[in-house]
Structure formats: C-alpha cells, structure tokens
C-alpha cells in the first residue's frame, strides 16, 4: 500500500449523522460539520435535563407541612 492510498483510507465517521468524511475537510472534528456538533451537544444537554429528580424529593410529598 503506497502512501497516497493509506491517506485515502484515513476517514472519520460523524457520530451524529454517520457520514464518512475526510478529517481534514471538517472544522468541527470529530463531527462532519458544526451543525452536527451542535446537534450532539443539544442531545447531551437534553439527557442531563431529563435526569430523575434528586432522591428525597418524593418523600417531601408525604410531609403534612400544609397543616401549619
């Protein structure tokens, strides 16, 4: 395998859309484009927001603080 062929096989796969691209052609590594990078970032943030509430919050509902 010569050097040019080896370079041609160096490709990256975008984690967001799965497209195969040349690493040198992207300005948003490891994503194929800044758009895919922001999509992945948004996915992360959504997962953090949708995490269950802190332990102990459910118990608070059983307290009769409203009788004061």
Chain contacts with Zn ion (rule: CB under 5 A): 14, 16-17, 32, 36
CB contact at 8 A, 38 and 14: no
- Comparing CB distances to Zn ion, the nearer of 7 and 38 is 38
Q: Quote the least distance from Cβ 10 to Zn ion, whole Å.
A: 17
Q: Which two tokens stand for residue 15?
A: 């984690």
User: Hey, which residues does 13 pair with through a beta bridge?
Assistant: 20
Q: Quote the least distance from Cβ 28 to Zn ion, whole Å.
A: 9
CB neighbours (10 Å) of residue 19? 12
- Comparing CB distances to Zn ion, the nearer of 18 and 55 is 18
């Amino acid at each position: 395998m010569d050097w040019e062929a080896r370079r041609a096989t160096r490709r990256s796969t975008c984690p967001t859309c799965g497209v195969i691209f040349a690493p040198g052609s992207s300005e948003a590594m490891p994503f194929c484009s800044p758009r895919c990078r922001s999509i992945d970032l948004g996915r992360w943030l959504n997962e953090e927001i949708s995490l269950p509430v802190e332990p102990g919050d459910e118990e608070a509902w059983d307290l009769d603080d409203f009788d004061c």
